[in-house]
Amino acid sequence: MNFNNIHNVYFIGIGGIGMSALARYFHANNKVVAGYDKTSTELTNSLLEHGIKIHFEDSVKLVDEKFLNSENTLVVYTPAVPKNHSELKYFKANGFKVLKRSEVLGLITEHTFCLAVAGTHGKTTTTSILAHLLFECNVPLTAFLGGISENYNSNLILSGTEVSVVEADEFDRSFLTLSPDLACITSMDADHLDIYGDASHLIQSFNDFSKRVKPNGKLFVKNGLPLQGITYGIEDDSDYSVQNIKIENGAYVFDVKTPKTVLKNLVFNLPGRHNLSNALIALAMAVEYGCPHQQLAKALALYKGVKRRFTYHIKTNDFVFIDDYAHHPEEINAVHQAVREMYPNKKVLAVFQPHLYSRTRDFADDFAASLSRFDELLLLDIYPARELPIEGITSEWLLSKIKSENKQLVSKAELMSKIHESKAQILLTIGAGDIGEEVKHIKKEFSIAS
């Protein structure tokens, strides 16, 4: 597709993290951008502040007239939008160019040097670290992030068009639209079984993605995954390996063994071995791209993180409040490891909002085991996202499986008072639904209290 012939871009589901990055991209490239979303959020508010018009009711009558010209309008939608969405049905029935977000991303990146980050966990943080490293090394890049970078306060980094950095999403097999020059796979744990049916089909999709790497390209894989490529790992015999880990002033200090040399005394400020692994693969890809080692070391030390990825909101001697997007048992385990490593003798209260009925059903026992590890647990109702309820699958049912004496099912209205009742020194909010909207209220309340 020739984007020069497109004047208007309309987004159905514009408030999604990936969709909003694309909306920012087209807006920055002087296209007229507007869209629909179901609810108003911080992301939609930010787009509105940039002059992008958004409405929150599914109605063709609310679509601006200029977007009703099929000759010069591109319509982009997310698979999370239901098929019976009236605006989507209208555009499909009336000869518009209608593409999924992933297809548009594939078209934007196909003529660039593309670095893609895939995996069921760690994609967003790894993509954000990689983009930051390349930006600090003056690489002319466009980076589409699946979260808001703390360094740039955006999910889009624009400093050129020769290189693209993208999050390669396995949901709906979206990553099969990409043809990367350098790609990595961080993990292949079962997830999105509502799409794949079982773990074997998910693994097959990652195999298919690995074959999308260009003939002269390179594939990096976490050591232990059943794929061939340049390996990386922590304190092992991988091609790229973290060695001699220390914690100094709340930061990791470590060495990295590469196939050619050893990078000494690197500093990284995000807690958790999972984040150390994310930093390693981002560093490895930047090294293979050709970035100078000294610049990479400086850039890594300056990396601040991604919003809602182990984000500190309050950090005093008496009380710590951390928010994280974790929505899979393995991600919750990673958050637990990080908080125990940083605060080994403190009591931890976790507030968790399950995401999707199907995911809760498919991993109920694993969720129960992960959540049982915290000292106290407050469990919110399941966030449905794109799904209708599944009979018998409720937060009450999940709570019954959790082996913890200090567990409660709570509503959002009760949340603040229940947190106040706790004597925990560490508060965690965890989940991928709208629990993130509660964070600012909790922060305000407990900033005053602490």
Q: What is the pLDDT of residues 358-379, one digit of tens each?
A: 999 999 999 999 999 999 999 9
- What pLDDT score was predicted for residue 204? 85
Assign 182 a pLDDT band (cuts: 50, 70, 90): very high
In a domain, 105, yes or no: no
Q: Percent of the chain, pLDDT > 70?
A: 96
Residues 203 and 264 in one domain: yes
Question: What is the tally of structural domains in the chain?
Answer: 3
- What pLDDT score was predicted for residue 170? 76
- What pLDDT score was predicted for residue 341? 85
* Nearest residue to 96 (alpha-carbon basis) of 67, 62, 61: 67
Top-confidence range, 170-174, 286-290, 306-310: 286-290
Given 236, 269, 302, which residue is the final one in a domain? Answer: 302
Residues 55 and 176 in one domain: no
- What pLDDT score was predicted for residue 249? 81
Residues 77 and 195 in one domain: no
Residues 181 and 214 in one domain: yes
For residue 171, is pLDDT > 80? no
Sheet architecture: strand order including 230-234? 154-158, 141-149, 163-168, 113-118, 182-185, 218-222, 230-234, 240-248, 251-257, 262-268
The model's pTM: 0.83
In a domain, 52, yes or no: yes
CATH of the domain at 227: 3.40.1190.10
For residue 436, is pLDDT > 90? no
In a domain, 346, yes or no: yes
- What pLDDT score was predicted for residue 198? 67
Residues 291 and 147 in one domain: yes
Tens of pLDDT, residue by residue over 191-222, are 555 565 666 777 888 899 999 999 999 999 99
Q: What is the mean pLDDT of residues 18-24?
A: 95
- State the average pLDDT for the chain: 92
Given 71, 100, 129, which residue is the final one in a domain? Answer: 100
Residues 82 and 183 in one domain: no
Residues 173 and 297 in one domain: yes
For residue 337, is pLDDT > 80? yes
CATH of the domain at 71: 3.40.50.720
- What pLDDT score was predicted for residue 200? 76
- What pLDDT score was predicted for residue 449? 53
- Alpha-carbon distances of 300 from 117, 151, 239, 327, 341, rounded to whole Å: 18, 12, 20, 26, 21
Residues 337 and 370 in one domain: yes
- What pLDDT score was predicted for residue 310? 86
In a domain, 127, yes or no: yes
Chain mean position to CA 350: 20
- What pLDDT score was predicted for residue 159? 96
Assign 420 a pLDDT band (cuts: 50, 70, 90): very high
Q: What is the mean pLDDT of residues 286-304?
A: 97
Q: What is the mean pLDDT of residues 244-265?
A: 94
Q: Which domain holds residue 418?
A: 311-449
Tens of pLDDT, residue by residue over 93-114, are 999 999 999 999 999 999 999 9
- What pLDDT score was predicted for residue 190? 58
